[in-house]
Amino acid sequence: MKNIIEVKNLTKKYKELKAVDALSFEVHEGEILGLLGPNGSGKSTTINCLLSLLNYSNGSIKIFGKEMKPDSYDLKSKIGVVFQEVSVFDELTVYENIDYFCGLYISDKETRKKYIEDAISLVGLEDFKKFYPKKLSGGLLRRLNIACGIAHKPKLIFLDEPTVAVDPQSRNNILDGIKKLRDDGATIVYTTHYMEEVEILCDRVIILDKGKILAAGTTDELKELAKIEEKISIEVNDLETKYIDKIKKLKNVDEVKYNGNILLITYKKGKNNLVEIMEYLKEDRIKYNKIFSERPTLNDVFLELTGKELRD
């Protein structure tokens, strides 16, 4: 499989602090790579090094098979970047903003016109071409931000938290657009604080913390790293402590938590845990409203590896 990005032993120091510590990884052609980590894990520093926006202490970076340098304009013309902070011109309309950014790379007017229309269609801004940014909702503004970053049809796209604080309709529109970009041949590096987006979009995931890779693989491969086998949630009112203590002693139970009216039981192993807990509830005549079983999630793995929730 062809590598679009190759990083070897990348290290970035700020005095004594290693923001990125001997990082090595590849991004394959046509995939969406999720780059995850808690705040301060080194994600932004890594991306800025990849884009040659930061000098780094050691290591090497190749993009499209060539060494990436600050003056590698031939490589940068094939790259699209959408940062978390919206960066558009307030005095330009939606169409004019996309035209400006696309024009930085595409000089032919007819080609540029087609590319602009494609970008507008991709993010669903057909009805807002003549609107100025101040008239757009937060979700529409983020769609415009994405369109500006990808209008020149880059082969490699960096998307940094593109769905932060957007309405559900815009979020779904953005996610559908990202899938289409991948289906059309783009390679995408994606950061997010929403684990469900990772499950939906990403072909592979890298989990970073303190500048190092803690784990890498598909979402299914990462879930296999979880130390728990099953989680069972039970909605039960006014559960006495004596019953909670008895549940803790059941076979395979790893941990029991009771918050509000939700009893959460985690198991390290076992195949019939749900049957066992239901039989116990019946024997002790404990009434419950709902019971739900699930396998370990990607968020469980993230929490085990980093000690933090992704949104922390």
Q: Summarize pLDDT for 135-181 with one digit per residue, the tens.
A: 999 999 999 999 999 999 999 999 999 998 889 999 999 999 999 99
CATH number of 3-223: 3.40.50.300
User: At 290, which amino acid appears?
Assistant: K
Q: What is the pTM of this model?
A: 0.87
H/E element, 271: none
CB atoms closer than 10 angstroms to residue 56: 20
Structure tokens that stand for 71 in this block: 């003056």
Query: How open is the CA angle 261-266-270, to the nearest 5 degrees?
Result: 135
For the stretch 18-36, pLDDT in tens is: 999 999 999 999 999 999 9
Spatial distance between the Cα atoms of 35 and 27, rounded to a whole number of angstroms: 11
| Half-sphere CA count of 167, side-chain side, radius 13 A | 9
How far does Cα 36 stand from its chain's mean position?
A: 6
In this prediction, residue 311 carries a pLDDT of 61
Spatial distance between the Cα atoms of 271 and 294, rounded to a whole number of angstroms: 12
Q: Does domain 230-295 have CATH number 2.60.40?
A: no
| Half-sphere CA count of 52, side-chain side, radius 13 A | 15
Spatial distance between the Cα atoms of 251 and 280, rounded to a whole number of angstroms: 12
CB atoms closer than 10 angstroms to residue 295: 11
Q: Could you state, in order of their start, the residue ranges of all structural domains in the chain?
A: 3-223, 230-295
Q: Indicate the average pLDDT of the chain.
A: 93
With a cut of 50, list the residues of the chain below it in pLDDT.
Answer: 312
In this prediction, residue 108 carries a pLDDT of 97
H/E element, 160: strand 156-160
User: At 257, which amino acid appears?
Assistant: K
Q: DSSP 3-state assignment of 89?
A: coil
Read off φ and ψ for residue 44, nearest 5 degrees. -65, -40
Over pLDDT 70: what percentage of the chain? 99
Helices (H), the chain: 43-50, 73-76, 94-103, 109-123, 138-150, 168-183, 195-201, 219-223, 241-248, 273-283, 298-306
